[in-house]
Amino acid sequence: MKDITLIALDSKCDCKTINSEEGSYFEPLSSIVKQLDSHDLSYIVVRTSIDRIPNNVESSLVMFVDHSFLVKEDYIFNAVTLNNLHRDMGIIFGPTSINTKSNKNERYIKNSYYGYDLNFGSIYTADITDEPHNYGSLYNAVISGSAYNRIGFSGCKTPRSFVLDSAAFFKEVAKNHKIYYSSILQKVKVLTEDDFEHKVISDYYYDLGYRDGLCNSLLSTKEKRQDLWERFVEAPEVIDCNHPRWLFEESKDDNNDYLELLVVLKCKYQIGYFEGMLGKRVI
């Protein structure tokens, strides 16, 4: 059995290195392989597309590697250390910061677009097993091979696309393993020109809504009704409060394009939410 399986997914990003205040980040696959070799760890690289991911592996750990998520030189050391410290681990998510390579004037785009940071202050690692809405993305997360194989991994096929992150997979992992967030598993998401196309942004928000709706569908009938009542009847503003990943500033001076896009994105998120909850295409 290998120490780790690296599942390398298709990616259009060709950025190799980024220097920031926090240090240097490198193209993940070549950097991780170099790190594994330096620590004398065995591995296998599986190159595939997001809809053809194997549902079982022969390794202790699994990572989905996307070239647009750059990592530091100590990523594997930190991943292995965390796994050794938390033997009950099913998944460990880490924060994602943003680096923009777009020349477009998208000044209203905040770091919440693909960004992920739970910010527990001085706490480096936190148990978030009972907080499904705080789960991050599986891209460059550390996954237990035993949890992966016990469930038989499969992504999430929505009525409009296929995405890596699956609320059903997370729920099954959480039944028998702990899910952690650790600030030392830092990575940088490189956003290119294409990432700022309106369709791409709206698809991102649909996927967020679909995943949250799927979480709702897994609740009991009573819990599901309570969640719907609070979100859409009693206090619809909680949609924003509960999901601080909204991209936009509160107002823009006479910017009709911004206003139209903001409305579209909020609608797209809610469509995704309903389709995830109902398990079928609504519109």
DSSP symbols for 98-145: EEE---S--TT--TTSS-B----TT-SEEE-TT-GGG---SBT-EEEH
| CATH H superfamily, domain 2-193 | Spore Coat Polysaccharide Biosynthesis Protein SpsA; Chain A (3.90.550.10)
pLDDT at 236: 60
What would the two tokens of residue 179 be? 């899910």
Element (H or E) spanning 47, and its range? strand 43-48
pLDDT single digits (tens) 186-245? 999 988 888 888 888 889 989 988 888 888 888 888 888 887 787 777 766 555 545 545
Sheet strand arrangement including 187-191: 17-20, 23-26, 69-71, 187-191, 96-100
Ranges in the chain annotated CATH 3.90.550.10 = 2-193
pLDDT at 221: 85
Give pLDDT < 70 ranges for the chain.
Answer: 12-14, 21, 103-108, 110-111, 235-256
pLDDT at 144: 96
pTM value is 0.86
